[in-house]
Amino acid sequence: MNANHQDQPLKVYAFAFGLFLGLCLWKFGDPVVLDHIIIPPATWEDFLEDAWPTHWANWILLPLAVWGLVLILQRGALPGKAVLPSKWLWLLPLAWLAWQFVAATRSVVPDLTVSTLWQLAGCVVCYFLGACLFARGPLTRWLLAGVLAAFAFCLVRGVDQRIFEYPQNYQEMAEGERVGWTNFPPAAVVEMKGEGLILTTNGVDVANPVIMAKFAKGRVCGTLVYPNALAQIILLVWPVSLALAFGATRQLRPMVRWAAIALTLLLGGAVFFWTGSKLGWLLGIGLVGVALLRLDWSKKLKIAALAAVVVLGLGVFAVRFHHYFAAGATSAGARFDYWRAAAQITAANPVLGTGPGTFSQPYSRIKAPTSEMARLAHNDYLEQFCDSGVIGGVAYSAWILVAMTLVARKIWPRPEPAMDGPPGKKRNSAPNTPSEGHFGDKNPFRFAIFLGLLGWFAQGFGEFGLYVPALAWAAFTLLGCLVSRN
């Protein structure tokens, strides 16, 4: 049996799992701590248009995980030295997940903890599936087919929100308030009141000012819970989309190729800009800088290009968000309060925390009066400390640090070590090695995945992507692909 035929079950599985990750991006874009308030769809129209309860994703992942385990056992690809280059790459995630279950025994909100445990277990499962099954280039591409299709749909949804949906909704709501909501059927008005779109103030039905402000600002969220989550998936997936747009279209006609590249650049760039994510924009500048430093340019040219990117990026940032800072940067101030509370909760519960996913319960008692209530700490790393104690926080942080460091060392070109030999004698180059003077993986496809992961985990310092199936499960699958020896 030839190798190509042996790979067929893996290709089918990689494609199926990629479709599942794409489904998550389409339908499971809410954090799992909100699962209890997501109304299950009742009609076919609801199934297509509305988000699905996040716990449905668990029951889809479970049979896929069993299928993957069977393939791993058939190929003898269990985690170990043959698959992962360091024992810490499998010990740390298993230790972290095990400690989550220990911390769950002291949870202050057991229902939230159960939902969170499913989510965190899914992250570890996706990580090991990526490492054991999807690491080879062709299989990673089969995996990404479904992810990129859903990503494109998410971006198109964002464009629709910006150009059509939000302006139309704003106009209809303003008109409804002006004419006493007679422009809506009575049943629709009742439904809008139930959803909080219409509020009754002093006996008068008015449009919810928070919703109206959302429509007026035009910050898009695509298929995800809110704009910053969309920015996070763009940081994760857009680099590899660009790598494929430039690399996989070389055989196409020039006009078709450049049209595909331009569409990828414009669609991703426009939607990223429309998310209005401050942290996302700053991280985007940093990722462009990292990409520039890796190019085979002279040092002077790299410095000049990097300076231009920083100056231009920060200039756009200053113009784009000057109203936000003039108004007091309220969301940034709220995050500092979340982080202060997370540290305070950790200090009060250093061993087991308050239970996975339970930040909101203790925070409600110690929040600053001016801060908006939050269900998560808006920092994946601090959340581990306050939810599962110091051991849980250290285990998670160490896992990500070790994994990303090892991937960076493997991918980033470095000066080639000197070889022993007679003076003046050239070293013989081995076949299929990188260009002389550097070693390391120079594959732009894998570097693009690394760049996306770098942005995603960095944004975890200000967001809660770890608790969103659409974001975390794709990220940890790709992380597994990169850390693997395969």
pTM: 0.91
- Asked if residue 281 belongs to a domain, the reply is no
114: which 2 tokens?
């159960």
In degrees and rounded to multiples of 5, residue 90 shows phi and psi of -115, -25
- Asked if residue 129 belongs to a domain, the reply is yes
Can you tell me the distance from the alpha carbon of 121 to that of 98, in angstroms, rounded to the nearest whole number? 9
SS3 assignment, position 149: helix
- Asked if residue 222 belongs to a domain, the reply is yes
CA-closest candidate to residue 243, choices 139, 137, 130, 133: 137
State pLDDT tens for residues 73-103.
888 766 665 678 889 999 999 999 999 999 9
Whether 211 and 352 share a structural domain: no
Q: Which band of pLDDT confidence, cut at 50, 70 and 90, is reported for residue 440? A: low
Residue in the block written with tokens 């279950």? 101
Whether 158 and 212 share a structural domain: no
Average confidence (pLDDT) over 165-171: 94
Number of domains in the chain: 2
Can you tell me the distance from the alpha carbon of 137 to that of 124, in angstroms, rounded to the nearest whole number? 21
Average confidence (pLDDT) over 299-311: 94
pLDDT at position 82 is 62
- Percent of the chain past pLDDT 70, that is, above it, reads 91
346: which 2 tokens?
């950790």
pLDDT at position 433 is 39
User: Of 89-103, 188-202, 258-272, which range is least confident?
Assistant: 188-202
Whether 210 and 250 share a structural domain: no
Spatial contact of 389 and 349, defined as CB atoms under 8 Å apart: yes
pLDDT at position 436 is 34
**Of 420 and 357, which is predicted with more confidence?**
357
Which of 175, 195, 217 represents a domain boundary (last residue)?
A: 217
pLDDT at position 255 is 92
Host domain of residue 205: 166-217
State pLDDT tens for residues 351-372.
999 999 999 999 999 998 888 8
- Asked if residue 69 belongs to a domain, the reply is yes
User: Of 20-34, 134-148, 261-275, which range is least confident?
Assistant: 134-148
